[in-house]
Amino acid sequence: MKIQKFLTLARTEMKLSLRSFDMILFGILMPLAIVIVIGLIYGGERGAEAPGVLAQSFGAYLSIGICAVGLMGMPLTLADYRHKKVLKRLSVTPAHPGLLLGVQLFVQGLVALFSALLVVLAGFLFFGYRPAGSLPALVLAYFIVLLSIFSLGMIIASTAPDIKKAGLLCSIAYFPMLLFSGTTIPFHIFPGPVQKAAAVLPLSQGIKLLNGISLGEPLSAHLVRIAVLLGLAAVGAGISIKTFRWDME
Amino acid sequence: MTESQDTVLRVEGLSKSYGALRAVKDLSFTVHRGEVFGILGPNGAGKSTSLECILGTRKKDSGAVTILGMDPAKDRRRIFARAGVQFQDSAWQTGIRVTEICESTACLYSPVPEWRRLLKKFDLKKRENAEAAALSGGERQKLSILLACIHSPELVFLDELTAGLDPLARRDMWRFIKAIQEEGTAVVLTSHYMDEVETLCRRGLMIKEGSKVAEGSIQELIAAGNGKNLDESYVQIMEKK
């Protein structure tokens, strides 16, 4: 019964998300474009000594979709529902905030996952790139990063009083991470102090994890990082359910 | 039946201010099982604010509210499993279609209610694949009332239920309200159409600038002014300084 409820809502939300072009552009086409451009510039071959640019930052390209969907798409969707009074209408039904957040997490998570699959496929088909590390470990790492970044987005989604503030908070979370975490500009080319400062961004840690795994490191080399990211996901989920706002007031 | 079983809504000393503006002042009333109760007053009198403070969608400053024996601040989900609400400013997700709204609303209740027959009842069957945004004002209003009643609630709150409806659609809506009342649903509605109130309500109260100025059966409300009917009495009461 519960799962039926979840799937009915998820199906509707998925249809709605596919009907709007924003998410397809930022969540799916942009990461794909970046990996193709980087691949064309640097080529995809993985040198034995120094891994190629594509290989070195492959985790970063996987996470662009997570970032776009988790820090923009999902929180802005919920802020829009609050603005349009859709949440207010749901506040006088038995819907639990956790259900609404969970449905968004699931639906938007699928969009991010689809974007990651396209990135992997493009890397392989156009440039013959294959991650060196274990695939199950990479998948696991991917979901850990997805949950931790989405939990930040969920806090914004729950607490933003109106759509303008949601947009502002999303930009504050999204753009520094996009610029300084190594998604678009490789992390290692920043000067030392910038690297140190940017290292506190959760996405920086997520990308270090994904890059490490795709370069062949084992998960056990990243245990602290994994614990921090999972902790962030749990705290974010807790905060967003507790502080969920139905209406702007 | 004891008094507490018979009471579906109890409001005591409800007050709400916005800064210096006292929007609702010390409002008290009770609604019984199966009756249609009207909250009447001109625009800006505090009808919607009262309704929202009762429902808990807006924070009240003081007072006590019990819906179906429960506190809306603590038992939101349990209350709205059994009560329904139509807001004046209902809105839906961009691009969503009528059947999708019905389906995703119905699935929130258990057991999941049968909603297709309601589409027919509300004459929305032919619009089931339309986008909500493409509906006419009257159709949107009907859809939002359909959704409030989708789970056959014991108590339903309707804010301006026939706003934007043409005379024929209004009468359709009245028939529907009467039908659900006969099935045992209590209705709390806000309105400033006195013909509607006289047709539908057994009891009601009038509010002016946030305060209750009259309460009782329709006959008592008529007697509270000096009019021949509710409309005349309403105008007299509201114009009195």
* Minimum-distance CB partner of B92 among A86, A92, A246: A86
Inter-helix orientation angle A223-242/A135-159, to 10°: 30
Which of A170, A27, A207, A230 has its CA nearest to residue A112? A27
Q: Per the structure block, which two tokens stand in for A142?
A: 């991917």
Which of B67, B60, B63 has its CA nearest to residue B17? B60
B94 Cβ under 8 Å from any chain A Cβ:
yes
Cβ of A8 and B104 within 8 Å?
yes
Which residues does residue B159 pair with via DSSP β-bridges, in sequence order?
B190
Residue B148 · residue B101 · CB < 8 Å: no
Q: Is the dihedral of CA A88, A93, A95, A97 positive or negative?
A: positive
Q: How far is A105 from chain B (nearest CA, A)?
A: 17
Q: How far apart are the first and last CA of chain B?
A: 42
Q: Per the structure block, which two tokens stand in for A26?
A: 């930022």
B146 Cβ under 8 Å from any chain A Cβ:
no
Cβ of B108 and A95 within 8 Å?
yes
Identify all chain B residues contacting A246, using CB atoms and an 8 Å cutoff. 57
pLDDT for the residue numbered B138: 83
Is residue A232 predicted with pLDDT exceeding 60?
yes
Which of B156, B71, B53, B110 has its CA nearest to residue A94? B110
Residue A145 · residue A63 · CB < 8 Å: yes
Q: What is the mean pLDDT of residues B213-217?
A: 95
Residue A104 · residue A157 · CB < 8 Å: yes
* Minimum-distance CB partner of B85 among A4, A84, A92: A92
Q: Is the dihedral of CA A154, A159, A161, A164 positive or negative?
A: negative
Tens digits of residue pLDDT in B86-136? 998 778 999 999 999 999 999 999 999 999 999 998 889 999 999 999 998
Cβ of B107 and A16 within 8 Å?
no
Side by side, the strands of the sheet bearing B7-18 are: B21-32, B7-18, B62-67
Identify all chain A residues contacting B155, using CB atoms and an 8 Å cutoff. none
Q: Please report, for residues A120, A159, B145, B170, the alpha-carbon distance to residue B53 in angstroms, rounded to integers and kept in the order given.
A: 52, 21, 20, 27
CA distance B25 to A81: 32
Tens digits of residue pLDDT in A138-184? 999 999 999 999 999 999 999 888 889 999 999 999 888 888 887 77
pLDDT confidence tier of residue A51, bands split at 50, 70 and 90: low
Q: How far is B103 from chain A (nearest CA, A)?
A: 7
pLDDT for the residue numbered A16: 92
Q: Please report, for residues A51, A208, A228, B188, the alpha-carbon distance to residue A218 in angstroms, rounded to integers and kept in the order given.
A: 17, 13, 17, 63
Q: Is the dihedral of CA B42, B43, B45, B50 positive or negative?
A: positive
pLDDT for the residue numbered A145: 96
CA distance B6 to A170: 50
* Minimum-distance CB partner of B109 among A88, A94, A96: A94
